[in-house]
Amino acid sequence: MKYFIHPLILSMLITMVTMSQPADKVFMNAAVWTVDENQPVAEAIAVYDGKIIAVTMNDEIEEYIDSGTQVIDTGGKLILPGFIDNHTHFIDGGFELQSIDLRYAQTEEEFARLIKEWAERYPERWITGGTWDHDNFPGGNLPTKELIDPYTPETPVFVRRYDGHMGLANSYTLELAGITGETPDPPGGEIVRDQETGEPTGILRNTAMDLVRKHIPPPTMEERVDAAMLALEKARTHGVTSIQDMSSSDDLRAYQGLARRNKLTTRIYAILPFSHWEYLASTGIEAPFGNEFIKVGGLKAMADGSLGSSTALFFEPYTSDPTTHGLPSDVMEDGRLEQWALAADKTGLQPVIHAIGDSANSLILDLYEKIIDENPPRDRRLRIEHAQHIHPKDFERFSQLEVIASVQPYHAIDDGRWAEGRIGYERCRTTYPFRSFLDEGVIMSFGSDWTVAPLDPLLTIYAAVTRRTLDGEHPAGWFPEQKITIEEAIEAHTLTSAYSAYEEHSKGSITVGKFADLVVLSDNILEIDPVKIKDVQVEMTVVDGVIVFER
């Protein structure tokens, strides 16, 4: 017979057992914000064997200290639970750190010059990555192959927009992929064409990008591991102790190899492509399956594209282009996503579905309601990734269905520069609606969407509490009624993100019995002017009781 012990009772038992247990490490003279409603603040933390054994005040921590205890006096610094990022493309981020950077090109000429210089340096390599943003250009025109063809006559180029839903190929690459004016648009994608000639401009949207991607040589496992190591280093420096990663099976193999070598310094919930669901189900895996550092069980699919590429799916046409409502994904359009989700949920796997436009979000809520109605009851924790543009009618449905809004607030201060031009003022009122979600009782977790946005939780929190757009045009906040408090933002980036991966009993707050995953900050973000949060630095990152980064 199996017995269940409530986590709070377990914590009390651990406390009783460890009262006389000297700690490996003690953090003291700190401002500890625990994100534990039973004990919100403290001054000291004791750690033993990777777990928290005491959360208390300075005058009560002495009993955990002996000659073998490392005592860390923080000098009054703020300690928070380690940040948990709800949505990353982690190894892609590592590759991005090694690739051409077009993100901050301010003109078409600068864009072309950077590609020219990269082609001269690496004439025989594919030029990929880039993460360009055409909204930086005067006039905001999309780049075309003609911009870069003179500099890359025999160099294959496929550089993507920073949101990952649109890319630019040069003529050499289009020819390699067999893309001509006669090539039909694939389901869920678009080959953008010159309005006069009908020839491809080089811009490919959504699934049309796959026509080129299949020709790009895949990285070796050694290259993938190297990229993961770079990404782990970046995560450590920003206090990210856990990620929920949109992984491939090869990524998962790389993580397992690093774990065997004790090289993982960030815990990983690997969310695999939805098309893998039958294989996972056949193994008997249910979410979350794994160990303390690597878990699986989530399945990722997309319902639509992105706002920046005008492929997010809306009820009404785009203000900037009344000929389009956006694009549903191919698996959404042909019904595969509904079939997969119903079947995968029934086996205990977790649907994690990308939806940006208000129509896409509404359609996924319809799907989730169908899952709840037709499948047996269980703790399913259904997620919508990004949940960016919500029709007013759907806030209550998010709450009633207990669907997790897995949001990435940095997008609000980035897209806020130009979003009204795409979809108009009225729809932007419920764009990145953080306050509305919380007021309606919606479960809302935070992350970055790195590489689309920076892997920096402090920027995420800054974006959520200030909504000050990157162009400086909204110093009081873009739609400031959607701001949330710093305390709410911290909880969304810690405990609620842990909940999103079924891990709230082991991480996400500074609580006895949980993993000793901690972050020490240079400034107390609970006390300073919120506009200064973006300048705060991580002083120390602790994972499993081990200091993995110290400034």
**Mean pLDDT of each 10-residue bin along the chain, 551 residues long:** 51 53 96 98 98 97 96 98 98 92 92 93 88 91 95 94 91 95 93 94 94 93 96 98 97 97 98 96 96 98 95 97 96 97 98 98 98 97 98 98 98 97 97 98 98 96 98 98 98 98 98 98 98 98 98 93
Helix (H) and strand (E) counts for the chain? 19, 25
CA–CA dist 467, 470 (Å, integer):
9
Q: Which residues contact 175 (CB under 8 A, 6 or more apart)?
A: none
Domain ranges of the chain: 1-82+508-551, 90-213
Torsion of CA 448, 223, 159, 409, to 10 degrees: 0
Give the type of residue at 122: Y
Cβ neighbors of 320 (< 8 A, separation 6 or more) are 310, 421, 422, 423
Phi, psi for 444 (deg, rounded to 5): -125, 120
| Residue 221 CB neighbours (<10 A) | 12
What pLDDT is recorded for position 319?
97
**CATH for the 90-213 domain, from 3.10.310.70, 3.90.850.10, 3.30.465.10, 2.30.110.10:** 3.10.310.70
What does the angle CA 363 – CA 368 – CA 369 come to, to the nearest 5 degrees?
Answer: 95
Cα separations in angstroms, 237 against 29, 75, 455: 23, 20, 10
Whether 425 contacts 67, CB under 8 Å = no
Tokens of 38: 């039973």
Instruction: Quickly count: other Cβ atoms within 10 Å of residue 19's Cβ.
Output: 11
Burial label, 178 (beta-carbon count in 10 A; 0-12, 13-18, 19+): exposed
Taking Cα atoms as reference points, which of 205, 209, 163, 93 lies closest to residue 415?
A: 163
Q: Radius of gyration (Cα) for the chain, nearest Å?
A: 24
Q: Identify the three-state secondary structure at position 493.
A: coil
What is the rounded CA–CA span in Å between residue 434 and residue 488?
Answer: 10
Rounded to whole angstroms, the Cα distance separating 378 from 505 reads 18
d(CA 32, CA 338): 45
pLDDT score recorded for residue 408: 98
Instruction: Report in angstroms the alpha-carbon separations of 428 from 7, 325, 356, 408, 420.
Output: 41, 16, 13, 16, 6
Residue 370, SS3?
A: helix
Strand partners, 127: 157
| CA separation for the pair 499, 505 (Å, rounded) | 8
Q: Beta-carbon neighbour count of residue 504 at 10 Å?
A: 18
For domain 1-82+508-551, which CATH number applies: 1.10.645.10, 2.40.50.140, 3.40.50.12780, 2.30.40.10? 2.30.40.10
* Strand, coil or helix: 80: strand
The crossing angle, in degrees rounded to 10, of helices 249-260 and 221-237 is 70
Segment 12-15 long-range contacts (CB within 8 Å, at least 24 positions apart)? 12/512, 14/51, 14/53, 14/512, 14/513, 15/53, 15/54, 15/512, 15/513
pLDDT for position 20: 59
Distance CA 22, CA 24 (A): 7
* Res 104: pLDDT: 87
Q: Which residue has the tokens 């997790």?
A: 404
Indicate the Cα dihedral angle 321, 322, 323, 325, nearest 10°.
90
- Tokens at 157, concatenated: 């180029």
Question: What local confidence, expressed as pLDDT, does residue 2 receive?
Answer: 41
Q: Are strands 267-273 and 294-302 parallel, antiparallel or unpaired?
A: parallel
Cβ atoms of 49 and 546 within 8 Å: the answer is no
Tell me the angle at which helices 336-346 and 358-374 cross, rounded to the nearest 10 degrees: 40
* Per-residue pLDDT at 21: 84
